[in-house]
């Protein structure tokens, strides 16, 4: 069973990945001004989610061994790849799959 601190870390990683998607969505839009590039709904929501992610990470580290944090956070790379495929239709190459496979293999080896 997963404890609440690990669950908070998983939520933090998920929120940070969603934030990255929102920030990338902002770059695909044209803006009327330079200020509009930095003060639009995608950027503001993205950075707001990053702050929430940071707070969840702080909470998670308050009750979880520090060695587990980076292992859970590495799942963010997997989530960003999946979200990129779903939201932007990005191509998943063999090289990307190999990288994700290495990350997942590393997680399993860590937990042996």
5 has pLDDT over 80: yes
Name the 3-class secondary structure at 47. helix
In contact, 14 and 79? CB cutoff 8 Å:
yes
Name the 3-class secondary structure at 30. coil
Q: Which of 16, 22, 31 is nearest to 39 (CA)?
A: 31
- Round to whole Å and give the CA distance between 82 and 100: 10
- Round to whole Å and give the CA distance between 68 and 66: 5
14 has pLDDT over 90: yes
32 has pLDDT over 90: no
Mean pLDDT throughout 28-48?
A: 89
Tell me which of 34 and 102 has the higher pLDDT: 102
Query: Longest Cα pair distance anywhere in the chain, in angstroms?
Result: 53
Instruction: State the pLDDT at residue 1.
Output: 61
- Round to whole Å and give the CA distance between 20 and 71: 19
- Record the pTM: 0.89
Least confident of 4-13, 45-54, 66-75: 66-75
Instruction: State the pLDDT at residue 36.
Output: 82
């Amino acid at each position: 069973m997963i404890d609440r601190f690990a669950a908070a870390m998983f939520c933090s990683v998920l929120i940070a990945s969603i934030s990255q998607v929102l920030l990338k969505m902002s770059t695909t839009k044209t803006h009327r001004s330079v200020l509009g590039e930095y003060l639009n709904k995608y950027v503001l929501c993205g950075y707001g989610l990053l702050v929430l992610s940071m707070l969840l990470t702080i909470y998670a580290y308050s009750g979880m061994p520090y060695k587990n944090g980076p292992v859970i956070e590495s799942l963010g790379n997997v989530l960003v790849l999946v979200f990129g495929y779903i939201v932007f239709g990005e191509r998943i190459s063999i090289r990307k799959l190999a990288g994700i496979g290495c990350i997942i293999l590393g997680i399993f080896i860590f937990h042996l």
